[in-house]
Structures are given as C-alpha cells and as structure tokens.
Structure 1
Amino acid sequence: MAGASRGVGRGIARGLGEAGATVIVTARSSETGARTEMRPEAIEDTAREVDAAGGRGHHYLCDHLSERAVDELIRWVLRRFGRIDVAVSSVWGGNEGFDGTRYPDGTGWGTPFWRRSAEPFGRFLEGGPYAGLLLARAVAPAMVSAKGGLIALVSVDTQHGYLGDLFYDVAKAATNRLALAFAEELRPHGVTALGLSPGHVRTERVRDLGQGDEATESPLYAGRALAALAADPNVAERAGQILHAADLADAYGFTDADGTRPPRLRIDR
C-alpha cells in the first residue's frame, strides 16, 4: 500500500485490514525519521490501524519517486511474504505545500497556465503517475509469474470534464491512462489493473484546512471499495476502468464508516 501514511492511502490500508489482509504500509513519513510537510502522521500509525481493524500491518519506509527504493521494497516483500496479491498506489505529492488557496510558488488553484511557471508541473507528474508506474513495473514480474494479481491506481475520473486546474487535471488524466495501458499489457498474463476514484474525502489535510464539513466521505470508503474489488473473483472484468467508490458501494453493498453510502463526486464547471 504505497502512499499510506495518511489520507486515502491510510483508508485503503484500513479497509484491507478489515478484510483480514496482511498490508505493507509504505510512504516517506515515519516516527523515526523525516515526515512530509512536517505533518504528524506516519506509516507506523497506519500499520497499527490495520492491526486494530483485524489485519496484519507492517510498515516500510520508502521514497516512491526512487526506482531503486521501490525495487528494493518489492524484493523485501517477496523475500518475507512470498507473494503480492494486491498493489495499490495512492502516492500524491502534487498538493504538497498547498494551503487551500495557494501553492508554495504563490499561484492559486486554477491559475491560467500562461500565468504560472511550468516548473511545478513536474512535481505533479512525479507525485502521481510516475510513482504509480514505478510501483507497477516493480510488482508486475511477480504477478505475471503467479498468473494473478491486482494493481490499483488511486486517481480522479477525468472522463466527464476538466478538473479545474491544468497541472492537477493532466496528472490525474495521465494516471488514468496508465491504468488503461497497464490493463492492456497485463491482461494476457492474468493480472488486472484499474483505477479507483474516491469522492471528496475527509482527509487529515482537508480537516486541517477547515474544509471537513464540505467533504462527503471518509478515507475508509475507498478502502472498503478496494477490499471489495480484491475479493471479487470476476474483478478482471473491470480491468482498465476508472471506478468510483460510490458506484462500487452500490455494486458490492458496503457503506462508509458512518453507515451511509455517499454518492459520486460531481464536478461542476
């Protein structure tokens, strides 16, 4: 579970824990080392939440923008556990330093592309699609050899229109296209790849920015969606799709942490 120190990644780890899974929680933020943006959350916290939910949590400090580090992570997992059934990338660094209004370079959300530097664009691509590519290419050989497995990329569905910020929109669209391309190349080998699109999630960052009341779902909603996909023997039928957590709740019958079933995120432009 890549990118699981907080946010949607932590919710997915917890959802898999509820299903009794052994979950390897990875990210850059640790109790014993550096933490991104000096935030308090750490991979050890998430691993403990997996345990409390009924699974078995293990933490592993990993920079998911380093090909070598990701390769070493996968080798460690295979040596210790023998196989990898599900790999999820929820890594997202595009909003680091965003205070709810402005990015660190002073530009605001949705600033026209010709009025902003192009330099931050690389961080959006690294902190989303590139991290997903590194995880998938590292884990695919083991899954291909086993003739089975599920690779999921957490993103936002871009099919129904522009997301409101060029850098954000293109990064999410690229992640979605990766899910499709992975699916096409892995399908003949019995491995499924897809994308998962949560709604407006009540993450730690969202709460800290005072936007918790505007959010419609908890991080666990996406976690239960992923757990349902992982348990579905017919999940290959969904390969290459970008699946909404809300649609999966209707299909599989799960609810959010409070017992509700929040609807799809609607982006009005």
Structure 2
Amino acid sequence: MSGTEERPLAGKVALVAGATRGAGRAMAVELGRAGALVHVTGRTTREHRSEVGRPETIEETAELVAAAGGTAVATAVDHLRPEQVEALVARLEAEHGRLDVLVNGLWGGDHLLDYPEGFEKKMWELDLEAGLRMLRLGIDSHLITSRYALPLLTRRPGGLVVEVTDGTAEYNANHRGHAYFDLAKNAPVRMALGLARDLKDLGGTAVCLTPGYLRSEAMLDTYKKVTEETWRDAVADDPHFCISESPTYVGRAVAALAADAEVGRFNGQSLSSGQLARVYGFTDVDGTRPDAWGYIAALEAGKEPRERDYR
C-alpha cells in the first residue's frame, strides 16, 4: 500500500468544531490518522471545564490524534462568541492559507434535556431558559462557525462541510419528543441542505451525518460505568444496546467522505455511519457494520429486530 493510500488526506487542513469528546473526538482522530492536519476546538481544557461538566479535554483529543500518527492543534473556542471563531479562522488563514474540511460537531446540550421526563412534557412545560440555551448550543454555534469558516474553505474547490446531528432526516421527520431537542437536531439537516446549494457552484460539498446508537463517554457512564472494552455488559440492562457503535465508526465515516474525490454525489444529503460503512467498506472497531437506524426503524415498526440482522 502506498503512502498516499495510507494517508489520503495528507496536505489537507481540517477543523473539527466540538472535538472535546464523543463523535467529534473520534472524527478528529480519524481525520488525523488519514493524514490531515486537524485543528480541534471545544470549551473544556485542562484548566477550565465547560457547563457540560465532563472531564474530557481538547488537549486529550489532540494527544489521541498524535497517538494515531496524526497532527492536531487544540484551541479553546466558545463557538457562540463570534470574535473567538473569527480569530480562529484568521489563524488558520495565516498559518495554512486553506481549510479543506469543516466538521460542525458542536452540541453540549444533553445536560439540559431533563431526561427522560423532558421527552414526555409538552412544550410549555419545559424550562424556557434551558430550551433556548439548547438551541444556542446546537444551532447558533453551527451558524456562527460556518459564517466565518466558509469563506476560507471555499477559496479552492473540493471543500467539505459535515453537519453533525442525531438521527437521519427520515427518522427525524417524526417528532423527537422534546420540543427544543427536536429543533436542535433537525436544524443541521436543513443547514446541510442550504449549504449544499451555496457550495455547489464553488465546487464544495455539504452533508449532514449522524452516528447510530453511540457509545460516547457519557453514554458508557450511564450504563453502570462500563467501558468500551466491556460495553456488552450493559446489554443485560438494555437489550437494544446490542446495536450500539463506537465513536470510531462515525469517525471513519468522516475520513472516508473527506478522502472521496466524488463526495459531491452526496451534496445536501442526510447520511449515517452505518449507511456509509456499506458504501466505503469500513467497519467498526470490532470488525462489524452496525446499522442502528435500520434496527431502530424495525423496532418502532413493532418488529423484534435481531442484532445479527443489523450488524
């Protein structure tokens, strides 16, 4: 295998906004593994913890990229503060003169969900301040980031924007049960559609991407603190956890998209990690190809899906 095949993104510059943990962290690692120089941003550093309250930091993400053979630069950025995003993009321009991949993975609203009760409440019964903060974190941050990053990304054809959400467009067509969460997770689908129109004549591509049942650090902690190595211990409590996937799976999906010279065929589409695994042939860390959204659709249709039929 040639070096180009091993590192198809060599010479590319990527920005993963919201790379502190979970899917964003894995996307940064896999982009770096594929050869891209990755700038990782977030609000939690070793000196400061964000409102999310989790211990993972952007410095750790950069170290994981390095451990995968890549190069990453960690920068603390609050993407709700335009001046911070503008300064970040100015730095990218000064240091590299280019931006090839933008991953809008910003979220950080799970702590505001009032789970599970919030998904049973009517809109006016939900906390207004928490709901509006959720929209700021999940929508405004994406808009602000794209506003400043896209002029640099569009300087040369071939740029890729990945809007990250939870749920495919098809799945999210049904209300997600929590008024603010529903809006926050449908917005990236619409953003990708609009950006696809704006980027098309400039040779760029925008897609929306969702993981499946993600084994993020926070999710693992909810299941009696199982680890990525022992996650199957949680299936006894939640049988449907059998279809879960590691963050690496969606990370590999992003790296495959970024390395695809024909990625424009997906412009404006809503994609999932399981769907792209079938297109590009990659697997999860255990060598399987989980299709969580297919499994969930079967479950909600009243069927009894079997793991082996969706992995």
Runs of 4+ in 1 over 4 A off after TM superposition: 97-100
C-alpha separation in 1, matches of 2:259 and 2:150: 19
2:137 maps to a residue whose letter is: G
Match of 1:254 among 282, 292, 295: 282
Task: Kindly indicate whether residue 159 of structure 2 is the aligned counterpart of residue 149 of structure 1.
Answer: yes
Match of 1:176 among 176, 183, 189: 189
C-alpha separation in 2, matches of 1:131 and 1:110: 27
C-alpha separation in 2, matches of 1:159 and 1:118: 28
> What secondary structure, in the 3-state scheme, does the structure 2 residue paired with 1:163 have?
coil
> What secondary structure, in the 3-state scheme, does the structure 1 residue paired with 2:18 have?
coil
1:239 maps to a residue whose letter is: N
Q: Which has the larger radius of gyration?
A: 2
- 2:221 corresponds in structure 1 to 208
Give the conservation status (yes or no) of the 8 Å contact 1:197–1:244.
Answer: yes
- 2:246 corresponds in structure 1 to 218
Match of 1:158 among 161, 169, 173: 169
- 2:79 corresponds in structure 1 to 64
C-alpha separation in 2, matches of 1:138 and 1:247: 30
C-alpha separation in 1, matches of 2:114 and 2:70: 34
Gaps of 5+ in 1: 102-106
What's the offset of the Cα at 1:81? 2.1
Q: Give me the CA root mean square deviation.
A: 1.8
The Cα offsets for residues 220-266 of structure 1, whole Å up to 9 and x where unpaired, read as: 11100000000000111111111011010000000111211111322
The Cα offsets for residues 7-39 of structure 1, whole Å up to 9 and x where unpaired, read as: 111111111122122111100000122344332
C-alpha separation in 2, matches of 1:122 and 1:35: 17
C-alpha separation in 2, matches of 1:238 and 1:7: 24
C-alpha separation in 1, matches of 2:49 and 2:210: 29
The Cα offsets for residues 120-176 of structure 1, whole Å up to 9 and x where unpaired, read as: 222222111221111111111112222331011101223232223222112111121
What's the offset of the Cα at 1:98? 4.9
TM-score under structure 2 length normalisation? 0.80
1:114 maps to a residue whose letter is: W
- 1:84 corresponds in structure 2 to 99
Gaps of 5+ in 2: 1-15, 225-230, 235-240, 302-311
The Cα offsets for residues 26-57 of structure 1, whole Å up to 9 and x where unpaired, read as: 00000122344332100000001111112111
**Structure 2 matches for 1:1-269, cutoff 5 A?**
1-98=16-113, 100-101=115-116, 108-155=118-165, 156-160=167-171, 161-210=174-223, 213=234, 214=241, 216-265=244-293, 266=296, 268=300
C-alpha separation in 1, matches of 2:30 and 2:22: 13
> What secondary structure, in the 3-state scheme, does the structure 1 residue paired with 2:283 have?
coil
Distance 1:187 1:119, change over 3 A: same
C-alpha separation in 1, matches of 2:188 and 2:139: 5
Give the conservation status (yes or no) of the 8 Å contact 1:17–1:50.
Answer: yes
Instruction: Say which structure, 1 or 2, has more relative contact order (CA 8 Å, 6+ apart).
Output: 1
Identity over aligned pairs, percent: 39
C-alpha separation in 1, matches of 2:128 and 2:283: 41
Give the conservation status (yes or no) of the 8 Å contact 1:100–1:209.
Answer: no
> What secondary structure, in the 3-state scheme, does the structure 1 residue paired with 2:209 have?
strand
What's the offset of the Cα at 1:118? 3.1
C-alpha separation in 2, matches of 1:60 and 1:189: 29
1:205 maps to a residue whose letter is: A
1:72 maps to a residue whose letter is: A
C-alpha separation in 2, matches of 1:208 and 1:89: 25
> What secondary structure, in the 3-state scheme, does the structure 2 residue paired with 1:83 have?
coil
> What secondary structure, in the 3-state scheme, does the structure 1 residue paired with 2:121 have?
coil
